[in-house]
A and B are shown apart, each in its own frame.
Chain A
């Protein structure tokens, strides 16, 4: 299995080496421990390493999360409410950190490998070393040439979030405004 682990680390390195930005469309499915689908949504994400993010899901509940590296905005269009708070370490020990802070992977996670059924991707399974982390394990599916195709994480209640990436682009052109958020008129803004 070490060969596999070496290949997986190599694939991960190919993905993170020289990674400055990553954008993708995705479908996100959240299931509870009985398998009941809580949320099925399409979304878009743009990531500007190390900590700029634009994450948007559309239904059933549209939500937008934007970080410009300093402040973190979370916007609920349905409720026309938004919060903005200093980013601080909000991303640490989150699934996003596995991609944005690759050099600290071993520090944050214990890693193992699991075969991907029927796929050519390699599945790295990351278990947070920090017991207080909100998720119990995180899977990263990477193709041999270092393309991230799927991310999934589970929590202590058995709730599982699966994110399938498509239209991925590494170090692509990002429009500069993507990491700033200006709330639409009429939005109630909170700064906890």
Chain B
């Protein structure tokens, strides 16, 4: 069964480690991950595969259901504008991704927060509560009404990256399992 969760640590060393980890990751403007998402809100459940690519600040999130079906492609340009194209070709635009996803998929997926939380980082412009462990890895973040709990990490190029996390707010629970992390640009681009 999963190893017991490490203890929260409030020592200056732990905080310094968290700062250093943050600086390392914020410096990278290209990264990518492949994840499995399970979203439960009330009686509604929706699972999907997420292919999230970031290149020089431009985000492309491909969401697909089982056997690569359903979902669509969400593109975020660095000024925050969001474009969603569903797999059957419908196009939707909005100033920010969260209202767009809520309107189109009817689910409240906090994309603008996840840009940071998925990497175990704090959203820079929101107040927060944070528990970290002795190595400076986040255990739990409370921010923008969401509680993000990190239950498993993996070393990627010397940085501890989350591979299992749960995001909760009121009756919405989003579980994410990350199967592949890549930090830095992709050679095939």
Residues in chain A within 8 A of chain B (CB atoms)? 30, 32, 34-36, 38-39, 55, 59-61, 63, 65, 74, 76, 78-79, 81, 83, 94-95, 131-135, 153, 155-157, 159, 161, 188, 190-192
Chain A residues near B177: list those with CB within 8 A.
Answer: 61, 78-79
User: Chain A's nearest CB lies how many Å from the CB of B3?
Assistant: 17
Chain A residues near B179: list those with CB within 8 A.
Answer: 39, 59-61
Q: Decide: B62 and A32 in contact? CB cutoff 8 A.
A: yes
Q: Is B108 an interface residue (CB 8 A)?
A: no
Chain A residues near B73: list those with CB within 8 A.
Answer: 157
Question: Residue among B45, B64, B85 with the most chain A CB within 10 A?
Answer: B45
Chain A residues near B46: list those with CB within 8 A.
Answer: 192
Q: Is B70 an interface residue (CB 8 A)?
A: yes
Q: Decide: A81 and B68 in contact? CB cutoff 8 A.
A: no
Residues in chain B within 8 A of chain A (CB atoms)? 32, 34, 36, 38, 40, 43-47, 49, 51, 53, 62, 64, 66-70, 73, 85, 87-89, 175, 177, 179-180, 186, 188-189
Q: Given A61-B36, A63-B66, A74-B66, are A131 and B88 also a contact pair (CB < 8 Å)? A: yes
Q: Decide: B88 and A134 in contact? CB cutoff 8 A.
A: yes
Q: Decide: A135 and B69 in contact? CB cutoff 8 A.
A: yes
Contact of A157 among B36, B62, B180 (CB under 8 A): B62
From A60, which residue of chain B is reached at the shortest CB distance?
Answer: B179
Chain B residues near A83: list those with CB within 8 A.
Answer: 45, 47
Q: Decide: B69 and A94 in contact? CB cutoff 8 A.
A: yes
The interface residues of chain A, by DSSP majority, are classed as loop
From A130, which residue of chain B is reached at the shortest CB distance?
Answer: B88
- CA distance in complex: A39, B177 (Å): 14
Question: Residue among A60, A131, A134, A188 with the most chain B CB within 10 A?
Answer: A134
From B34, which residue of chain A is reached at the shortest CB distance?
Answer: A38
Chain A residues near B180: list those with CB within 8 A.
Answer: 60
Contact of B67 among A60, A156, A161, A190 (CB under 8 A): A161
Chain B residues near A34: list those with CB within 8 A.
Answer: 186, 188-189
Chain A residues near B40: list those with CB within 8 A.
Answer: 81, 188, 190
Chain B residues near A161: list those with CB within 8 A.
Answer: 67-68
Chain B residues near A192: list those with CB within 8 A.
Answer: 43-46
User: Chain A's nearest CB lies how many Å from the CB of B118?
Assistant: 16
- CA distance in complex: A7, B97 (Å): 50
From A61, which residue of chain B is reached at the shortest CB distance?
Answer: B36
Chain B residues near A132: list those with CB within 8 A.
Answer: 88-89
Contact of B87 among A36, A63, A65, A156 (CB under 8 A): A156
Contact of B45 among A36, A59, A81 (CB under 8 A): A81
Contact of A159 among B44, B62, B186 (CB under 8 A): B62
User: Can you give 23 A-B contacts (C-beta < 8 A)?
Assistant: A32-B51, A32-B62, A34-B189, A38-B51, A39-B34, A61-B179, A63-B66, A79-B36, A79-B38, A81-B38, A81-B45, A83-B47, A94-B69, A134-B88, A156-B89, A157-B73, A157-B87, A159-B62, A161-B67, A190-B40, A190-B43, A191-B43, A192-B45
Q: Decide: A76 and B49 in contact? CB cutoff 8 A.
A: no
Chain A residues near B89: list those with CB within 8 A.
Answer: 131-132, 156
User: Chain B's nearest CB lies how many Å from the CB of A51?
Assistant: 15
Chain B residues near A39: list those with CB within 8 A.
Answer: 34, 49, 179
User: Chain A's nearest CB lies how many Å from the CB of B13?
Assistant: 33
